[in-house]
Chains A and B, each alone.
Chain A
Amino acid sequence: MTTSPPAPAIELVGVNKSFGPVHANRDIALKVEAGAIHGIIGENGAGKSTLMSILYGFYQADSGDIFVGGSKVSIPDSQAAISLGIGMVHQHFMLVENFTVLENVMLGAEGGALLNRGRAAARRELVALEKEYALRVDPDAVVGDLPVGQQQRVEILKALYRGAEILILDEPTGVLTPDEADQLFRILGQLKAQGKTVILITHKLREIMAATDAVSVMRQGEMVATRRTAETSVEELAELMVGRRVLLRVEKGPATPGETRLKVQDAQVIDGMGVERLRRVSFQVRAGEIVGIAGVAGNGQSELLEAIAGIRPLASGAIEVCGHERTVADPAELRRMGLAHVPEDRHRMGLVTAFSAKENVILGYHGNPDYSPGLFLDRGAIRKACEQHMADFDVRPPNPDLKTANFSGGNQQKIVLAREIEQDPQVLIVGQPTRGVDVGAIEAIHRRLIELRDAGKAILLVSVELDEIRALSDRILVMFDGRVMGELSGDAGEREIGLLMSGVEQEDAA
């Protein structure tokens, strides 16, 4: 075999891009083989999306060369990218929701000043594309009525309709259910089989391993490494992404549970619509243990968390914190009893994102005499506390005056955790502690929770991530349809938990 290898579909040489003082892309070199699925991973803010926006003509590189199919090109705008055969599926879909699928596909490629002729041609083309790639979508459906997975197909069809040979997908699975994600990867396989090149941007290591031929890793604006997927491992990629060894599973010793700190007895919650969301749930959490609540989202976990935190009233039943029975649903009273709550949705309940970090670290504790000794807030004390929290939890950047909206997801979560943990609660209830958080921060957060357990606190962990539940919990309760289906030990197998999650009774499964 002496034939020279075909030109790479895309080659980048020395690409730089800065936004003001932020060097988002630094001397990027990248080669994407034609007809392959190439993954690009990196933590949030590593510069993946910027790089792809340069390829799609959304931004201009400050310097550097771009080669497409072996020849040097310049991509001043999206139109140029499209004519070079580059198509992009954005993380947030670029669809007009009250247009039909057909209109969305045509937009920008109408084929003439009047729509009639172009419409007929587009319809024919769409049917052909659907057949070729098994991308079934009704051309006359209104996009806003379609489920997310189908909307994504419309985006892919849009790119293909414009003759894309190279398809860039930016975090395509973030909004998909696992089932829809599987379908997407089947479609990508189909595209590859037809000779298309696919660039897949994601921060999910699993997807990279499952779907790609090669993978490039970005960190802090630089291209750190490129590997053949078959020759690398999740551990190596994680390390490359974060820049140090990452423990995907934090070490923990056996628990030494003490007295009962949180007791939930026959708790029942009925929502505003009169639906019973929590059906007489009972359990206890003891000092020095982590109890994990597993389950598919929407099976009563949120209601349970909110009931314990005092946000939702109980229809019947009782909740005891550190031996005090909770009388009314009052989060402030519960805090005084020694309970802290890290809510599931940090944007909606955990933070006021328009406030600065230092204002957020006193939310709920603003009446604390340390922070407000008299009529006014002690701003010096608040700043000092915030700086201390930020140092303890390695929040970056450690700037108490920065609006919390401008921190990354992981750092926002650390701010919430710091606020709750630094109050030295006896009971900590945590919902989805690592949702939308980078690998590096996940490790830090997990480590914190285990330290807290070892310090003799009682922790209730609610998470839809099975890996997280299994990594942290000493005991696992599985919820289904508002009920606790059963209790398992912390080292229970995935299958065992999965069965309970799908509502199969413990006795049947045994």
Chain B
Amino acid sequence: MFMDVILLLDSTVRLATPLLLTALAGLYAERSGVFDIGLEGKLLAAAFAAAATAALTGSPWLGALSGMVVAIAFALVHGAACITFRGNQIVSGVAINFLAAGLTVLLGQSWFQQGGRTPPLMGEGRFETITLPLAETVRDVPILGPIYSELLSGHYLLVYVAFLAAPFSWWVLYRTRFGLRLRAVGENPAAVDTAGISVAGLRYLAMVCAGILCGLAGSYLAIAQSAGFVKDMSAGKGFIALAALIFSKWRPVQVMGTCLLFGFLDAAAIRLQGKDLPLIGEAPVQLIQALPYILTVVLLAGFIGKAIPPRAGGTPYVKER
């Protein structure tokens, strides 16, 4: 029973990782006043780029790098549409999602002829899990042993990166000059402009941050968690991440908590598949899978109060006249 719980939590952490990275990406974009519906598309495009590059070069590092580059490129397209050309941010985001969904399959098919997949990665091309020091030695210590060796040790590097990125983002947002300006530009860009700071510059910088994080998330999906890209492998994670972002009211540490909760529901759904539960009978997997969305709606509707987005979100900045 204890080991079951540990394994459940272990898979929670793994499933929460892409959500967390993606939600943090959304946090930078939206805190700067640019709504980012296109997280899903960036995630997918990055996953494809990472898998394709890793398959061709055999290096997961180059894979992750190219994942980031592609995600940044997509983010900058969104930025150009929303910041420079003052387009509708939702429309641009939706367009990016469609673009990524189509482009990945098209390029995948024409490059690899495997029905839109990338070739499965063998050994070298994929990230390996990291075993923390002494993990094997302490495995048999009661309680703490399994927690350390199963739950904390044995994850991919990107898992650790993701869970450090959350407190780091908090620090950036509330303790640095960049963070102060980022929060300000999402609330009242005119205040930033009159203080002599470039609104567009800040927002593009936020787009780059979002691209980097989406790139890491996509790489995690394609070359760490799985061994290659398959069509639509992001499977709505970008939208769940967006829900997590709203749910946590655009605050980084809360984002981490929410992603862990959503990851937990996901892990539970997998684990309960086909099992008989007391009272209910066979586990209603679909219901559990839908829980993150239901939770978001229900809790936002009344329990955690109103989630107020950054005030300037969704509106392009235009100087008077």
In the complex, the chain B residue whose C-beta lies closest to that of A22 is B321
CA–CA, A82 and B194, complex, Å: 9
Chain A residues positioned under 8 Å from B191 (CB to CB): 94-96, 104, 107
Do residues A88 and B187 form an inter-chain contact, with CB atoms below 8 A? no
B183 contacts partner chain A, Cβ-Cβ < 8 Å: yes
Do residues A107 and B175 form an inter-chain contact, with CB atoms below 8 A? no
Do residues B188 and A116 form an inter-chain contact, with CB atoms below 8 A? no
Chain A residues positioned under 8 Å from B184 (CB to CB): 96, 99, 103, 107
User: Given A78-B195, A110-B177, does the pair A96, B321 have CB atoms closer than 8 Å?
Assistant: no
CA–CA, A307 and B197, complex, Å: 51
B side interface size, CB within 8 A: 24
A177 contacts partner chain B, Cβ-Cβ < 8 Å: no
Q: Decide if the interface of chain B is mainly helix, strand, loop or mixed.
A: helix
Do residues B187 and A58 form an inter-chain contact, with CB atoms below 8 A? no
How many cross-chain pairs have Cβ atoms below 8 Å apart between A and B? 79
Chain A residues positioned under 8 Å from B56 (CB to CB): none
Tell me the residues in window 79-125 of chain A with beta carbons closer than 8 Å to chain B beta carbons.
Answer: 79-82, 88, 90, 92, 94-99, 103-104, 106-110, 112-116, 118
CA–CA, A88 and B190, complex, Å: 13
Chain B residues positioned under 8 Å from A79 (CB to CB): 196-197
B276 contacts partner chain A, Cβ-Cβ < 8 Å: no
> 0/1 per residue, B178-194, Cβ < 8 Å to A?
11110110011011111
CA–CA, A112 and B181, complex, Å: 13
Chain B residues positioned under 8 Å from A19 (CB to CB): 321
**Min CB distance, B259 to chain A, in Å?**
24
Chain A residues positioned under 8 Å from B179 (CB to CB): 115
* Residue of B181, B190, B194 contacting most chain A CB atoms (<10 Å): B194
**Min CB distance, A91 to chain B, in Å?**
10
CA–CA, A63 and B305, complex, Å: 53
> Which of these, B176, B187, B188, B197, contacts A113 with CB under 8 Å?
B176
**Min CB distance, B282 to chain A, in Å?**
48
**Min CB distance, B199 to chain A, in Å?**
11
Chain A residues positioned under 8 Å from B181 (CB to CB): 107-108
Do residues B177 and A97 form an inter-chain contact, with CB atoms below 8 A? no
**Min CB distance, B170 to chain A, in Å?**
13
In the complex, the chain B residue whose C-beta lies closest to that of A113 is B177
Do residues B177 and A99 form an inter-chain contact, with CB atoms below 8 A? no
A77 contacts partner chain B, Cβ-Cβ < 8 Å: yes
> Which of these, B177, B190, B311, contacts A94 with CB under 8 Å?
B190
User: Given A58-B319, A94-B190, does the pair A114, B183 have CB atoms closer than 8 Å?
Assistant: no
**Min CB distance, B191 to chain A, in Å?**
4
> Which of these, A80, A104, A108, A114, contacts B175 with CB under 8 Å?
A114
**Min CB distance, A239 to chain B, in Å?**
29
User: Given A82-B196, A97-B188, A97-B311, does the pair A116, B175 have CB atoms closer than 8 Å?
Assistant: yes
Do residues B196 and A96 form an inter-chain contact, with CB atoms below 8 A? no
**Min CB distance, A160 to chain B, in Å?**
14
Chain B residues positioned under 8 Å from A94 (CB to CB): 188, 190-191, 193-195
Chain B residues positioned under 8 Å from A58 (CB to CB): 193-194, 319-320
CA–CA, A114 and B180, complex, Å: 10
Do residues A107 and B176 form an inter-chain contact, with CB atoms below 8 A? no
**Min CB distance, B206 to chain A, in Å?**
16
**Min CB distance, B167 to chain A, in Å?**
16
> 0/1 per residue, A44-78, Cβ < 8 Å to B?
00000000010011100000000000000000011
**Min CB distance, B172 to chain A, in Å?**
10
Do residues A108 and B197 form an inter-chain contact, with CB atoms below 8 A? yes
Do residues A108 and B196 form an inter-chain contact, with CB atoms below 8 A? yes
CA–CA, A116 and B174, complex, Å: 10
A side interface size, CB within 8 A: 34
**Min CB distance, A45 to chain B, in Å?**
12
CA–CA, A19 and B320, complex, Å: 12
> 0/1 per residue, A235-255, Cβ < 8 Å to B?
000000000000000000000
CA–CA, A78 and B8, complex, Å: 55
CA–CA, A279 and B194, complex, Å: 49
**Min CB distance, B10 to chain A, in Å?**
36
Do residues A96 and B194 form an inter-chain contact, with CB atoms below 8 A? no
CA–CA, A118 and B176, complex, Å: 10
In the complex, the chain B residue whose C-beta lies closest to that of A111 is B177
In the complex, the chain B residue whose C-beta lies closest to that of A89 is B194
> 0/1 per residue, B182-219, Cβ < 8 Å to A?
01100110111111110000000000000000000000
In the complex, the chain A residue whose C-beta lies closest to that of B186 is A96
CA–CA, A82 and B195, complex, Å: 8
CA–CA, A263 and B139, complex, Å: 93
Do residues B180 and A115 form an inter-chain contact, with CB atoms below 8 A? yes
CA–CA, A116 and B195, complex, Å: 20
Chain A residues positioned under 8 Å from B190 (CB to CB): 90, 92, 94
Do residues A113 and B178 form an inter-chain contact, with CB atoms below 8 A? yes
**Min CB distance, B73 to chain A, in Å?**
27
* Residue of A108, A112, A118, A158 contacting most chain B CB atoms (<10 Å): A108
CA–CA, A69 and B319, complex, Å: 28
**Min CB distance, B250 to chain A, in Å?**
11
CA–CA, A280 and B183, complex, Å: 52
CA–CA, A115 and B178, complex, Å: 9
**Min CB distance, B319 to chain A, in Å?**
7
CA–CA, A88 and B196, complex, Å: 12
User: Given A78-B196, A90-B194, A108-B195, does the pair A96, B188 have CB atoms closer than 8 Å?
Assistant: yes
In the complex, the chain B residue whose C-beta lies closest to that of A112 is B177
CA–CA, A116 and B175, complex, Å: 7
Tell me the residues in window 110-142 of chain A with beta carbons closer than 8 Å to chain B beta carbons.
Answer: 110, 112-116, 118
Do residues B183 and A96 form an inter-chain contact, with CB atoms below 8 A? yes
Instruction: List the 9 shortest-distance A-B pairs measured between CB atoms, nearest first.
Output: A108-B195, A79-B196, A94-B191, A78-B196, A110-B177, A94-B194, A96-B187, A96-B184, A96-B188
Q: Which A residues fall within an 8 A CB radius of B?
A: 19, 53, 56-58, 77-82, 88, 90, 92, 94-99, 103-104, 106-110, 112-116, 118, 158
* A-B pairs with beta carbons under 8 Å apart, 27 shown: A53-B320, A77-B196, A78-B196, A80-B196, A90-B190, A90-B194, A92-B190, A94-B188, A94-B193, A94-B194, A96-B187, A97-B187, A97-B188, A104-B191, A107-B180, A107-B181, A107-B184, A108-B181, A108-B195, A113-B177, A113-B178, A114-B175, A114-B176, A114-B177, A115-B177, A116-B175, A158-B195
Other 18 A-B pairs with CB < 8 A, given A96-B184, A110-B177, A115-B179? A56-B194, A78-B193, A78-B194, A78-B195, A78-B196, A79-B197, A82-B195, A82-B196, A92-B190, A94-B193, A97-B188, A98-B311, A103-B184, A107-B197, A113-B176, A114-B176, A116-B175, A118-B177
